[in-house]
Amino acid sequence: MSKSSSQNGSRGAGRSRAAIRTILKNSGPADASTMAEELGIAPMAVRQHLYAMQEEGLVSFEEKAEGRGRPTKYWALTDAANAYFPDAHGDLAVSLLTEMREVFGEDGLEQLLAARTEDQKKTYKKRLKGAETLEAKVGALADIRSEEGYMAASMPAPDEEGAYLLVENHCPVCSAAATCQGLCKYELELFQSVVGRGVDVTREEHILSGARRCAYRICPKRKKAAR
């Protein structure tokens, strides 16, 4: 097969799967035959696309018995498929922050961010309960942040014994953070609070400053040298 034929096939599969996603989004669970009729392609082709989408975690099915014969598979989108549809959360967050600043002023916005951070501290500390070592705490923190969409990871710092790096490869609130720098400021306060006393948390890389990622060094406080 030529390179152009392969590319055309990939584009065709992409269009078909996009059409399947649209049908399931608009109409809810459906079987392959019904979707095939709507798309004007063979049911077997639709099933092939569905199984490929299932491997990607985008669809799942439920079998329903309908008279004699094998149960019919009714396919539905998973939450992961939402990434293929418009998402105005970023625009909404920016708009709300802008309105809050205009209505409540900088002091009012600061109070709201502080209150939000206090709620986060309580939630995070519950999740870190039982993590005794600094390594365990940073690892648990990375798990929480990954669940929130930050694609986070923890690792020992390569250049300092006893220190760890918390790396966030994605910022799901980047638009909001660009509008309100207080979000990043309170993020540092949050991390410092949940890892506990006797620990320093410093941001070494920052997406909003042009870095590829955000990275934080978390290490025991350095003892001051005696004079």
Q: How many CA atoms lie within 13 A of 21 on its CB side?
A: 21
Residue type, 152: A
Question: How confident is the model at residue 223, as a pLDDT?
Answer: 55
Euclidean distance between CA atoms 155 and 164, whole angstroms? 6
Residue type, 211: A
Strand partners, 150: none
Domain segments of the chain as ranges: 3-84, 89-220
Which residues, other chains included, contact 128 with Cβ-Cβ below 8 Å and sequence gap of 6+? 137, 140, 141, 194, 195
Better pLDDT: 87 or 186:
186
What pLDDT, in 10s, does the model give residues 67-122?
788 899 999 998 888 878 766 667 778 888 889 889 989 999 999 999 999 999 99
CATH 1.10.10.10 fits domain 3-84: yes
Residue type, 112: L
What percentage of the chain exceeds 90 in pLDDT?
Answer: 59
The counts of H helices and E strands in the chain are 7, 6
CATH number of 89-220: 3.30.1380
Question: How confident is the model at residue 226, as a pLDDT?
Answer: 42
pTM over the 0.95 mark: no
